[in-house]
Chains A and B, each alone.
Chain A
Amino acid sequence: MKAPKFLGVGSVGLFSGYAWPTPKSSRLGPWVTVGGALKPGSNGIHACSRSSLVDWIDDELWVVELGGAIIEADGLIIARRGRLVQRVSAWNSATALAFATDCVLRVRDHAVHSLHTVGRSQEAAAIQRVQEPIPLQSIAIDVLEGLSGKARSAVEYVADAVELLEGGRPDCYRHHLVPAAIPTPGALAANLGFVAAHAAGSILGGDARTYEEASHAERLLQTHWLARHLARHL
């Protein structure tokens, strides 16, 4: 069977540290085989299902062919052997940053919704108008003045999400700190995907169940985003 597999820059596994042999010219990559019992996260050639792609985002996306014994657990597919078939060129730095930016804009949409529910339509309109992250953060910080409670928290998520997109930490913009090292585009995309899901749960949810529902719905939107951009390559 074939399945998608995320790898870091240089086709290196984030957890195994293994530099995968890549296909040369028209040939497939060589088979990589593991011994011992297959164990999720520990032993085996790991790939993921399309529905769990958002959980494992990294800088390179490959199609891997799996063989031998195969088990599935938690959205992971673990096999006795695997080989790289083809890199999905549609997933690259630009796509990863576009995905991350889209996540930030959905955090903005959730904040807009939250502002409307407390009657702050003027502030909601000001935030909704902006499509670019940096100006969005400036306006979000301006709008924070005079807000309290859940609406304030929602707008803080917007400012934080932009800060993360720029490689900073949520507290950077408050203290004018410059990021020490900017994560790779894949790491940013993985991070902003989670942040958008967490923000959706926190802003739209009220208790543990509704948090989970809103967070899950956001992850589904992200899955659909990836499907729209990558489906014909996988």
Chain B
Amino acid sequence: LLTCQEIVNLVTEYLEDSMNPQLRVSFEKHVTICPACRAFLSQMRETIRISGQIRSESLSPQTRDALLETFRDWNFEA
């Protein structure tokens, strides 16, 4: 069975459906038996849902600047 740390490491792959079926079933078996990972997966989904609703024009100038600053040096190739 996967560990909680592995669930954290694999969650993006899981949500993007880029896992092989066997690993995906192992992932789901772990989440089923682990209340903390149930909460974690649910929070990740909710975060994606909410952040997907944010439009750039809805941000205050300060928030937009802070986000741009945060991601300015982000290495997207990593």
Whether A190 pairs with B25 at a CB distance below 8 angstroms is no
Q: Are B35 and A188 in contact (CB under 8 A)?
A: yes
Instruction: With CB as the reference atom, state the residue of chain B lying closest to A74.
Output: B25
B67 interface contact, C-beta 8 A? no
A76 at the binding interface (Cβ < 8 Å): yes
Collect the chain A residues with CB atoms within 8 Å of residue B45's CB.
17
Contact of A183 among B17, B21, B22, B35 (CB under 8 A): B35
Within the complex, what minimum Cβ distance (angstroms) separates B16 from chain A? Answer: 11
The reply to whether the CB of A156 lies closer than 8 angstroms to some CB of chain B is no
Contact across chains for A190 and B33 when beta carbons are under 8 A apart: yes
Residues of B within 8 A of A191 (CB): 33-35
Main DSSP-derived SS at the A contact region: loop
Question: A55 contacts the other chain (Cβ, under 8 Å)?
Answer: yes
B-side contacts of A55, CB under 8 Å: 29, 32-33
Asked if A42 contacts B24 (CB within 8 A), the reply is yes
| Binary flags per residue of B24-46, CB closer than 8 Å to A gives 1, else 0 | 11011101111110110000010
Q: A40-B21, A73-B25 are in contact. Are A194 and B33 (CB under 8 A)?
A: yes
How far apart sit A169 and B36, CA to CA, in the bound complex (Å)? 9
Contacts of B38 in A (CB 8 A): 14, 183, 187
A57 part of interface (Cβ distance < 8 Å): yes
- Set of chain B residues within 8 Å of A15, measured between Cβ atoms: 28, 31
A181 to B36, CA, bound (A): 10
Q: Which of B55-71 contact A (CB under 8 A)?
A: none
Query: Is A40's CB under 8 angstroms from B24's CB?
Result: yes
**CA of A40 to CA of B20, assembled, Å:** 9
**Given known contacts A55-B29, A73-B21, what 12 new A-B pairs fall within 8 Å (CB)?**
A14-B38, A39-B21, A40-B24, A41-B21, A42-B24, A57-B32, A73-B25, A74-B22, A74-B25, A183-B38, A193-B33, A194-B34
B residues contacting A by CB (< 8 A) are 1, 17, 19, 21-22, 24-25, 27-29, 31-36, 38-39, 45
22 contacts between A and B (CB under 8 A): A14-B28, A14-B32, A15-B28, A41-B21, A41-B25, A41-B27, A41-B28, A42-B21, A55-B32, A55-B33, A56-B29, A57-B33, A58-B32, A73-B25, A74-B22, A169-B36, A183-B35, A187-B35, A191-B33, A191-B35, A193-B33, A194-B33
